[in-house]
Amino acid sequence: MSKIKTHLQRIILRLSNIKYLNRWIILMADTVLSVLATLFVIFSVSLFRHNGYSVTTTCLLCGFSLLSMLVVSYLFKTYANVIRHATLRENWRHFVAVAGKEILFLVAIQLTGILSENAILFVVADFFVTVVLQLAVRVVMLNVYNVLRLSTYTKRKHILVYGTSDESVTLAQGGSNVYMMDYMVSGFLTTNPNKHSLRIASQPVYYIDTIDELKDLAVTHNIEGILFPSPKLAQKEEKRLVRYCENLNLRILVVPNMEEMKNGVINRSIRRINIEDLLGRDEIQINMKEIGTLLQGKSVLVTGAAGSIGSEICRQLAKFDIRQLVCYDMGETPMHNLRLELEEKFPRLKFVPVIGDVRSEARLDFVFRTYHPQVVFHAAAYKHVPLMEENPCEAIRVNVYGTRNVADAAVKYGIEKFVMVSTDKAVNPTNIMGCSKRLAEIYVQSLNMAIQKGEVSGKTKFITTRFGNVLGSNGSVIPRFKEQIKNGGPVTVTHPDIIRFFMTIPEACRLVLEAGTMGNGGEIFVFDMGEPVRIADLARRMIELAGFRPDKDIEIKFTGLRPGEKLYEEVLSDKENTKETPHPKINVAAVREYNYAEVLPHIELLTKYSTEVRIPEMVIEMKEFVPEFKSKNSVYEMYDKK
């Protein structure tokens, strides 16, 4: 008996995994149903006629029905619709197709004269019977498919969908969708008392106001989680309902968005909410169409293309109609992964992966003269503060000398625009990394001014973009906290009062593209980073979202500020230090302008010191040239002027 049951389960599983019925099977089914409908009408009419229809007439009518259905099915492609994804709009299309069949049917009847009377009445009856039969079979097939699919998921968790909007209702009705297979919607949860006791899509609507009411509801109906249709709605309830769920150990779920599905972030399931969802904010609106128009047909070079920011810039650029995308990075494995991703998602894109170091003038010259880029996005940099504090010469060699190499090559080969990715740590720097990025800013800005004044021959427009921490970037705090929580703690925070500004990687990169297209040369664009986040609070929230209690289940340990680290990052969009642009979230920093002829000797001297690893002389030169550079919690404080 158990063998028979197992065999049946395997058959059901195979049937449920059939994605789409063959279109020829659907065409044949529709044609057969059309003929059956005609036979039904013939039989029904014969009941009210004494002599009925002859065999010849019956055969002709069935033949006309078959041929008419084949013709309209071909014209309207009704057999190509995926039945399990059918919508009301597609049913109307089917409705019109059957109407077309009846018109052809009527024409054939009139031309042959096989029905001497009531031909129109016959065709009308045939129309209704055909529609009912074909739609009924589709409904049965859809329900059978859903039953088979759901029968393979015996331990589904009961959840409530937040809200009663169209989005929520659609989500609840999509229980057979692949990403809902592990869950069963048991109702809707509303914050509107007027909707209490309603039923929507055959499911009850529950109203809760307090955590005790949610607890009673969860116990009574065996609820294991709340599903939010979007992260934005979860943010709205972050201080109330999300907190309730954490305290009651209920799952907090969000439906996967299209971008996540495309990027393969989720796999066959809705996911638990992330801290990134709660830290998010209203998405900054970017005119991607205008950016696409400006980049259309151009060759674009991205340095540091395999890094967190560089790779996302490449993904954004790949969506535009550019002539080719040249990706330059020294990391072999990350570049290989980026290549596989872009070739899979953008098969029409002309993608050129180049392994190279920005410190190599010869390699850069080869790339510029071979691939003739017209726009450069310079994202190559060393970014980790503690590492650069310990390896200061490499910070200068990559972030300053490397930037100079790329910028000089851009001028030499007549690049139209050069967009450099910088950081908020370049503002009043307290560490080697921040100062190295400020030096890079000074070089490209002074070079731009020299070109505008005619002191340097060229046409390149240099634009700099500054922003703060990006969520989920390589080596950032959130992936580290996740790993520490996964390992049982402790979660390490450098200081109880340390705060940072956060932005998502896609948002930051879209702003880079926007700033790059709006810039006229010489600007340092700064982004509105929103509200600052206390890192200790971030750690607590991540522990809670993982289902643990801070300082009880998982310890938060304060380790002290790292070398060069400061408690508070600068507010980039301070109105006193910036000028407005047409975009409300992008401003232009008001900074001192440097003369290129004065800057160049300092850059050359720093390059010399870094190459020779003369650290004291190099740091002293950095502090003299960038007087706002004051080291904090660092061995280099001794070189600050008192």
Catalytic residues: 425
- H or E, element range at 300: strand 299-303
* CA separation, residue 373 to residues 273, 323, 349 (Å): 41, 10, 15
Tokens of 579: 């000028």
The DSSP code sequence of 33-50 is: HHHHHHHHHHHHHHHT-S
CB count, 10 Å around CB of 631? 22
Which of these, 69, 87, 60, lies nearest to 133 by C-alpha position?
69
Kindly report the backbone phi and psi dihedral angles of residue 365, in degrees, each rounded to the nearest multiple of 5, phi listed first: -60, -40
Sign of CA dihedral 443, 447, 450, 452: negative
**Longest distance between any two alpha carbons in the chain, whole Å:** 117
Contact assessment for residue 186 and residue 265, using Cβ atoms and an 8 Å cutoff? no
- H or E, element range at 392: helix 392-395
Kindly report the backbone phi and psi dihedral angles of residue 209, in degrees, each rounded to the nearest multiple of 5, phi listed first: -125, -30
- In three-state form (DSSP H/G/I as H, E/B as E, the rest C), the secondary structure along 547-568 is CCCECCCECEEECCCCCCCCCE
- H or E, element range at 618: helix 615-625
Cα separation, 508 vs 626, whole angstroms: 27
Kindly report the backbone phi and psi dihedral angles of residue 534, in degrees, each rounded to the nearest multiple of 5, phi listed first: -75, 125
